[in-house]
Structures are given as structure tokens and as C-alpha cells.
Amino acid sequence: MDIQVGYKLFVKKKSEKQRAEILGMRSTTKGMEYYVHYIDLNRRLDEWVSYDLLDLDDPTQIEIPKKKKKIEDTKVVKKTTDNPEEEIKIKTREEEYKIKNIKNLVFGDYLVEPWYFSPYPKEIAESETVYICEFCLYYFGDLKHFKDHAKVCDLRHPPGREIYRHNGLAFFELDGYVEKKYCRNLALLSKLFLDHKSLYYD
């Protein structure tokens, strides 16, 4: 059966079947994979699954989206509105179903699986593992460049002013206008684990 984006069907899990919506497709050396969002579950559980995990036994359980009529002035939706709050809502909606783009993340001694999409540069996101400097939060798509950076990075704590310290825990206050790069890197990193967060930067 030809499965397309927008189809809703059951996906075979370890001990049960979970209804999901197809959000994306890709061709791999092992065959087609489908990016699914499990309906009524948190988006951090979205994942790529292989074709054989799609339950296609009962066609009546497969919901096919209705074809939308073409509208001549569809560009109106993407127009900048006069209302800043409305514009933010539109942009947030556009990002709501973006496919998770970072597979693995190394931060210090930890290997982490991100939960959500974050707009890292394409060449970084396409890497099997992304390495984050635990001091300046800059990102690298391969271990060699990360190690080269670690030798020259002169930060050993966040920039800014330390405002609290207790039992090995410290808080720093910094000016986003002054520390633009650090704040950008922090925002990109935090977006991987925060569902409702919008990023706007040059």
C-alpha cells in the first residue's frame, strides 16, 4: 500500500499498537522510513519507524486525509500581519510539526537523545551525532572539529556575572545584547527539549 504524509494508522509497538499520523517520509538503505506522531501523546515521542511496523492489515483502520481545494490567495496565510501576537501564532503553528532533526547529542560526558526540532544549521543537523561545547555551547558535526575547538575555547563557565553559588551550583546573569552568540547557542540547545519555544534570530 502506498502510504503518504497525513495518513493516520496504527503503528506496532513492543506490546501494543498505537495510533499515529505520518508527518514525514524518507528513503534509506534499509527501505522506506516514516516519521510518526503518536496521537494524544507528547511530541517528544515522535520517531522514525520502518514500513514493516505500520499496521496495514485492516484498510478500514487507515484514515486518508481529504484533498484540500486549491486557493489562489494561499500566500495570505504567510503574510506578515499587523498584529505581532498573531504573527507569532502563525510562525509557532508552522514549526509545531517540524520533524526532529538531531538524532544524538554529546554534552560533556553525556550522550543525550533530543526531544524536539531545533533550527541548527542543516550541515550540523545531518550529522549522526552533534557535539556541544559544555562551556560556550557551540555545536559541531564531527568529533575532530569538536576536539580542536576544546583546545582553544577559553571559557570555563558561562559568560556574565555570577549571582549565586551554593553546594557546587552556580547561576550567572548575562546581557543578551552583549553575549549574542552564547545566547543564540543556549536558545538552540534549549529548543531541543522545550516544545513551546519560538526562536527568531539572524
Q: Which of 185, 189, 161, 191 minimizes the C-alpha distance to 175?
A: 161
pLDDT at 82 over 90: no
Q: What does the pLDDT read at residue 69? A: 60
Beta-carbon neighbour count of residue 131 at 10 Å?
Answer: 23
Digit-coded pLDDT (tens) for 123-170 = 999 899 999 999 999 999 999 999 999 999 999 999 999 999 999 899
Q: pLDDT digit string (tens) for 8-18?
A: 999 999 889 99
Q: Where in the chain is the domain with CATH 3.30.60.60?
A: 72-202
Q: What grid cell was written down for 169?
A: 551550583
- pLDDT number for residue 170: 93
What's the average model confidence in pLDDT over 43-67?
91
- Cβ(11)–Cβ(55) below 8 Å: yes
34 strand-pairing partners: 25, 49
- pLDDT bucket at 38, cuts 50 / 70 / 90: very high
What is the C-alpha separation between 151 and 153, in angstroms, rounded? 6
Q: Please give the CATH number for the structural domain made up of 8-61.
A: 2.30.30.140
Q: Which residues make up the CATH 2.30.30.140 domain(s) of the chain?
A: 8-61
Report the mean per-residue pLDDT for the chain.
86
What is the arithmetic mean of pLDDT over 98-109?
Answer: 92
Q: In what order do the strands lie in the sheet with 54-55?
A: 47-50, 31-38, 17-28, 8-12, 54-55
Domain 72-202, CATH class in plain words: alpha beta
